């Protein structure tokens, strides 16, 4: 049994007293692993991620980190936003340094740390650019660098690769796997893409349609050594994608 860093217990979310977005979500997230949250549009994926991030207070249930109940955002979690959430009037460097600034880290110190991560996500040379001067993929990387600076154990990402084309998406996915070899982190990410979930994740959580609840959990156990294109042709990979596709279809109906 893996070491569990985070778990949700019977989490339910009701918006505006009537819209049940999540119901009885109990989920274990193993330390140092990638967990993907997959499900039809509007099933509550973002809601679940925000509950875990401490941005939405669940109507029922709890979120526990190392068996301690958490309330609100904490230094142990950092979120990468689906819409990037970059300050339009701030440079890449200033944006990346925002998290550290909020923690009261000195200017010298936070710029040094930020530059390290800007380099790590491949944005060197763009430190002084403004968000409107960047492509979608570069904005995404800026948001990722900002989340990395605060050095939290758990990285939360909401559809991190949805704003880019297929080529860039594959590049970012590979970069993420590379990055995670350096940074020892637990990752929870939301995705629409079955391929992405199977390719990246150790654990794929499938949510059923509204109200969102866990329908199934799949453990891909893909052998990720070797050529990317070969991995995508592994029988196990193709089989899993098909399996998840057919179960997702049944929840959409």
Ligand X SMILES: Nc1ncnc2c1ncn2[C@@H]1O[C@H](COP(=O)(O)OP(=O)(O)OP(=O)(O)O)[C@@H](O)[C@H]1O
Select from 2, 10, 42, 221 the one that contacts ligand X (CB under 6 A). 42
Neighbouring-strand partners of residue 44: none
Q: Please tell me whether residue 41 binds ligand X under the rule CB under 6 A.
A: yes
Regarding 19 and contact with ligand X (CB under 6 A), the answer is yes
Nearest distance, CB of residue 245 and Mg ion, angstroms: 20
Q: Which of 91, 84, 85 is CA-nearest to residue 130?
A: 91
Which residues within the stretch 149-178 sit at the binding site for another protein (CB under 8 A)?
A: 150
Binding test (CB under 6 A) with ligand X, winner from 8, 47, 142, 173: 47
Q: Which is nearer to Mg ion, 8 or 46 (CB)?
A: 46
Compare residues 96 and 197 and give the one whose CB is closer to Mg ion. Answer: 197
Q: Which of 61, 74, 136, 209 binds another protein (CB under 8 A)?
A: 74
CA angle, 206 then 208 then 214, to 5° = 55
Question: Is 81 a binder of another protein (CB under 8 A)?
Answer: yes
Binding track, positions 181-220, relative to ligand X; x by CB under 6 A: -----------------------------x----------
Q: Does 130 bind another protein (CB under 8 A)?
A: yes
Stretch that binds another protein, among 47-55, 63-71, 108-116, 188-196 (CB under 8 A): 47-55
Give how far Cα 49 sits from Cα of 58, 125, 145, Å: 11, 32, 19
Would you list the DSSP string of 113-139? HHHHHHHHTT-TT-TT--GGGS-HHHH
Angle in degrees, 0-180, between the axes of helices 136-149 and 166-182, rounded to the nearest 10: 20
Question: How many CA atoms lie less than 13 Å away from 114 in the CB half-sphere?
Answer: 25
CA distance linking residue 233 with residue 240, whole number of Å: 12
Size of the site for ligand X (CB under 6 A): 13
Give the interface size with another protein as a residue count (CB under 8 A): 25
Give the angle subtended at the CA of 118 by the CAs of 117 and 124, to the nearest 5°.
Answer: 140
Binding positions for ligand X, rule: CB under 6 A? 15-16, 19, 21, 39, 41-47, 210
């Amino acid at each position: 049994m893996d070491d569990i860093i985070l778990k949700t217990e019977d989490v339910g979310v009701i918006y505006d007293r009537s819209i049940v977005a999540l119901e009885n979500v109990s989920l274990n997230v193993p330390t140092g692993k990638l967990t993907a949250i997959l499900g039809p549009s509007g099933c509550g994926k973002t809601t679940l991620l925000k509950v875990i991030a401490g941005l939405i207070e669940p109507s029922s249930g709890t979120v526990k980190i190392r068996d301690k109940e958490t309330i609100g955002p904490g230094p142990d979690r950092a979120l990468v936003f689906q819409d990037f959430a970059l300050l339009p009037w701030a440079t890449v460097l200033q944006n990346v340094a925002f998290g550290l600034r909020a923690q009261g880290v000195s200017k010298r110190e936070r710029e040094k740390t930020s530059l390290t991560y800007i380099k790590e996500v491949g944005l060197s040379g763009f430190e002084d650019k403004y968000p409107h001067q960047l492509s979608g993929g570069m904005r995404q990387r800026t948001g990722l660098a900002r989340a990395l600076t605060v050095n939290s154990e758990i990285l939360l990402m909401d559809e991190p690769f949805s704003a880019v084309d297929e080529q860039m998406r594959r590049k970012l996915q590979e970069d993420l796997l590379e990055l995670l070899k350096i940074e020892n982190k637990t990752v929870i990410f939301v995705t629409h893409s079955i391929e992405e979930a199977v390719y990246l994740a150790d654990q794929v959580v499938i949510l059923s349609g509204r109200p969102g609840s866990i329908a199934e959990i799949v453990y891909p156990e893909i052998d990720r050594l070797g050529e990317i294109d070969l991995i995508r042709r592994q029988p196990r990979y193709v089989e899993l994608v098909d399996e998840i596709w057919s179960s997702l279809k049944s929840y959409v109906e």
